[in-house]
Structure 1
Amino acid sequence: MNRPRSARGALPRHDDRRRSFPQVAPREAPDGRFAATWWGNAWVEALEGTALDPARLARGKAYAGRGHVDAITVTPGRVVAYVHGSRTRPYRTEIRMRTLGDDGWERFLDEATARPDHIAALLDKDVPHALEAVTGLLPAPGDLVPDCSCPDDGYPCKHAAALCYQAARLLDEDPFVLFLMRGRGEQELLAELTRRNAARSAAETAAAAPPMATVPARAALDATAAGLLPLPRPLALPDRPGRPAVFPPDPEAPDPLALDLLASEAAVRAHTFLATGHDPVAALTPWQDAVRLAAAHPGSGLTASTRALYRDLAYALDRTPTDLARAVAAWRQGGAAGLAVLEEPWDPPAGPFDRARPALLAADFPAFRPWRNRLSTESLQLRLGRDGLWYGYESDGGREDWWPRGEPDPDPVGALTDLLGR
């Protein structure tokens, strides 16, 4: 008997409205909060604003910190996980919240596609505050409804609090989890954003494009007969480079974020070349160009997409992501000159370098050891660039792991003061 094709081992169909995440490793943000992003902290504040017992919250945070929350499943309006407590058998715990209606999603999509930077931020796993203000994506105190199979009738119990704290970590890594909680899957949203962005771009292009210069047919024929066919005037240069369309993810296509980055880069370079006749990138080495690309990538901190970009660029040039991250810090500190300071020690002539050490001592800074163009203590370093600027570096005490910090300055005292925030 022939079985249906789906029963012969065909791949299961992807469910865009159900995502499961393995156990999340606990990690507090540098400021001591459990979440690192503003939307992750807003989620935590909604939980803490609902709680009736601060002691249960504290125990829930401790449970989350010790890894008591198993894999988490997210579907529209619901977050579910098994949470380990004092008993051997874990408790089934869930957090429920209302989903956005069609009107709410229409406002979200209209606002997101109204500005290209909003779409770029979403693709970079960032949520602009303007989208939250328009749609109310994040829950307010009272919007999260906890439920747990444990006998504790606290609101919430420590198991539900632990789940909610760990869910904030998922939101930190990928805000599309929040959109799923509110009722829309990532692929569904990206497809609709792509469609609306393409329609908006087409409408703007049609409205802004100047009329093409034309030549009457009779004039063209007369000019052809005379051997002279006038060329139409070149189109006016637009005020700014155009933005590419949003590329939806496709398992058989290149990475959409990489395509967007390269297309945006090509548009900017072409616009600069048309305006000035000069391509400032042409003289860069492949490594310098990779560092420049990574340094210009939008986003705050090492998001998932930033880590992927660093990994791919570093692999292509036989470097490590740490090498690239350090080089990006140098580029943001001083461009190509800052990168040269990072990678190229040199012997400066007598003069400014020799005067730097007594100037630092006179400003009550500790004694620095000289080596080539560098002055160092156990954890601080100043490097003199060939451009005559001093660049600040820091390292953990006793380690040769120097990272660029602060703004370059022609005065070594000024560069060190900026580095230390004095």
Structure 2
Amino acid sequence: MSGHTGDYDSDAERTFAALPPERGRGFARTWWGQAWLKALEDTALDSGQLKAGRRLARAGAVGAVTVRPGRVTAVVQDRGRTTHRADVLLEELTGDQWDRFVDMAGARAGHVAALLDREMPPHLVEDAETAGIDLLPGLGDLEPECGCDAWDHCGHTAALCYQMARLLDEDPFVLLLMRGRGERALLDALQSRTGPPSDGSPRPEGVDAAEAYAAGGILPPLPTPPALPDEPGVPPSLDTEAAPAPGIDPAALEFLAARTAARAHRMLAEALRDGHGQHAPEAEPTVHQDAVRLAAGEPDRTVADRLADGSGRGREGLAVAVRAWRHGGGAALSVLDEEWPVEGETLARARAALETAWDEDERPRFRASGNRWTALGTAGQLRLGRDGRWWPYRKEGDRWVPAGPAAQDPATALATAERSAADESDSGRPKG
């Protein structure tokens, strides 16, 4: 685990060292960590207590976290340096539910392999739900107990939940322990389960080829997959002896072939990364987006001018669009081009994120226009994407330009924008 380790007192209890203060990041990277936080945030009646919990968690006020079946515990120090024992309870699975889970997970080698890689793929959770087993908590499932005698989630139990999300990011076995089974006991049960499922249904003969390959324990051994080439392949050369057909630009064709090879290489590299199957496939770019994608491949001047004209952006506009594309593809390009009204629940979430990203005495003042928040007195601007992420922008002349990739936390995005503006300013100063 990054920055912390779980120490086994027994297989039924794990204790994690206190996490250091960490500002400018979200509390959950994985989808299952985010589901844990959604269960908290949908249940808590007082958003002020959630805000206090995030502040305490970021400040490193949560002590060592002990996880055991049905309960997670830590001592939390509030801003007045008073300490309180905080507990969060989650109902354990029954013995029958664990039997069904072991049968279900053992029937698919990919489930076990994912858990061993500290991943919780959506299809594992979906298969468990089909078997009548809720692994992730839902509305009202996280019950608080705190020494401050609050009857609902307080800042102390909220802080514990936010730190717990960081632990879950690293190891989903922590959630399974809360549901009643430690890692060693669960893996032993999976290894020893060789008979028919507990419902008496016969096991299917054989396994899916992809699962067998992932398991790796078959004879004869499968060959090692070929390594990803360091560079894209060289596209075929055009016939240079015959004159091109009317309207055909050989230079443009050669550029398109080279960019296609580069894109195929990138897609293959992404497909081979761990966790690739958990992400939805990217939408195909529109014609205008594809023009920007191609321009990001640094074509020669003739092709670049055709792309600038065909996209309707002109040279300067296309150069800015290329910056956006390199920071985040089609999503970043949409944020560059679109200004849309932020309303209702989306607006409430955006304001809450802006309020909690900084302490009150550090929070910048913003002027809002649609999905764009300009930080007054700075060269930074935040743009909210439709997916809830914040994109950093900086002022360049009379134009706002992309300054970096998106962030879940607005403070991180604004720091990126301000740092980019400072770097640009420094690069323009005379030397010596």
What TM-score, normalized by structure 1, do the two folds share?
Answer: 0.51
SS at structure 2 position matched to 1:394? helix
Conserved? CA contact 1:357–1:368, under 8 Å? no
SS at structure 1 position matched to 2:10? coil
**2:311 match:** 363
Structure 1: gaps of 5 or more residues: 1-11, 209-237, 247-259, 271-280, 304-332, 334-344, 370-375, 382-391, 396-402, 408-415
Q: Of residues 126, 141, 144 in structure 2, which corresponds to 1:143?
A: 141
Structure 2: gaps of 5 or more residues: 1-6, 233-264, 280-284, 286-296, 339-432
Q: For 1:304-383, what aligned pairs fall within 5 Å after superposition?
A: 354-367=302-315, 377=319, 380=322
**1:321 match:** none
- C-alpha spacing 1:102/1:268, structure 2 compared with 1 (3 Å): farther
Q: For 1:214-233, what aligned pairs fall within 5 Å after superposition?
A: none
Q: Of residues 116, 126, 151 in structure 1, which corresponds to 2:109?
A: 116
Backbone CA RMSD of aligned residues: 4.8
Q: For 1:23-422, what aligned pairs fall within 5 Å after superposition?
A: 23-24=18-19, 26=22, 34-124=27-117, 125-128=119-122, 129-133=125-129, 134-150=132-148, 152-196=149-193, 207=205, 240=209, 243-244=212-213, 246=215, 267=222, 281=226, 295-300=271-276, 354-367=302-315, 377=319, 380=322, 394-395=326-327, 405=329
Distance in 1 (CA, whole Å) between partners of 2:196 and 2:223 is 22
Aligned residue type for 1:180: L
Aligned residue type for 2:163: Q
- C-alpha spacing 1:69/1:365, structure 2 compared with 1 (3 Å): same
- C-alpha spacing 1:67/1:241, structure 2 compared with 1 (3 Å): closer
- C-alpha spacing 1:136/1:66, structure 2 compared with 1 (3 Å): same
**2:416 match:** none
**Deviation of residue 159 (structure 1)?**
0.8
Distance in 1 (CA, whole Å) between partners of 2:185 and 2:153 is 32
Distance in 2 (CA, whole Å) between partners of 1:347 and 1:56 is 54
- C-alpha spacing 1:302/1:39, structure 2 compared with 1 (3 Å): closer
Aligned residue type for 2:322: L
SS at structure 1 position matched to 2:315? coil
Distance in 2 (CA, whole Å) between partners of 1:169 and 1:239 is 34
SS at structure 2 position matched to 1:98? coil
Aligned-pair identity (%): 37
How many aligned positions are there?
275
- C-alpha spacing 1:356/1:172, structure 2 compared with 1 (3 Å): same
Residue 16, structure 1, aligned to residue 11, structure 2? yes
- C-alpha spacing 1:90/1:263, structure 2 compared with 1 (3 Å): farther
Aligned residue type for 2:145: D
SS at structure 2 position matched to 1:153? coil
**Deviation of residue 63 (structure 1)?**
1.9
- C-alpha spacing 1:144/1:285, structure 2 compared with 1 (3 Å): closer
- C-alpha spacing 1:102/1:117, structure 2 compared with 1 (3 Å): same
Distance in 2 (CA, whole Å) between partners of 1:417 and 1:62 is 33
- C-alpha spacing 1:394/1:74, structure 2 compared with 1 (3 Å): same
- C-alpha spacing 1:359/1:100, structure 2 compared with 1 (3 Å): closer
Distance in 2 (CA, whole Å) between partners of 1:194 and 1:185 is 14
- C-alpha spacing 1:137/1:13, structure 2 compared with 1 (3 Å): closer
- C-alpha spacing 1:188/1:356, structure 2 compared with 1 (3 Å): same
Distance in 2 (CA, whole Å) between partners of 1:347 and 1:144 is 55
**1:235 match:** none
- C-alpha spacing 1:139/1:27, structure 2 compared with 1 (3 Å): farther
**Deviation of residue 368 (structure 1)?**
6.8
**Deviation of residue 103 (structure 1)?**
0.6
**Deviation of residue 93 (structure 1)?**
1.5
Q: Which has the larger radius of gyration?
A: 1
Conserved? CA contact 1:127–1:175, under 8 Å? no
SS at structure 1 position matched to 2:222? helix
**Deviation of residue 366 (structure 1)?**
4.0
Distance in 2 (CA, whole Å) between partners of 1:364 and 1:14 is 65
Conserved? CA contact 2:104–2:128, under 8 Å? no
Aligned residue type for 2:120: D
Distance in 2 (CA, whole Å) between partners of 1:171 and 1:92 is 21
SS at structure 1 position matched to 2:312? coil
- Cα deviation code 1:151-182 (max 9, x no counterpart): x4341221112111221222222211100111
Conserved? CA contact 1:93–1:148, under 8 Å? yes
SS at structure 1 position matched to 2:120? coil
Conserved? CA contact 1:53–1:154, under 8 Å? no
**2:418 match:** none
Distance in 1 (CA, whole Å) between partners of 2:32 and 2:211 is 30
**Deviation of residue 299 (structure 1)?**
1.0
Distance in 2 (CA, whole Å) between partners of 1:365 and 1:299 is 36
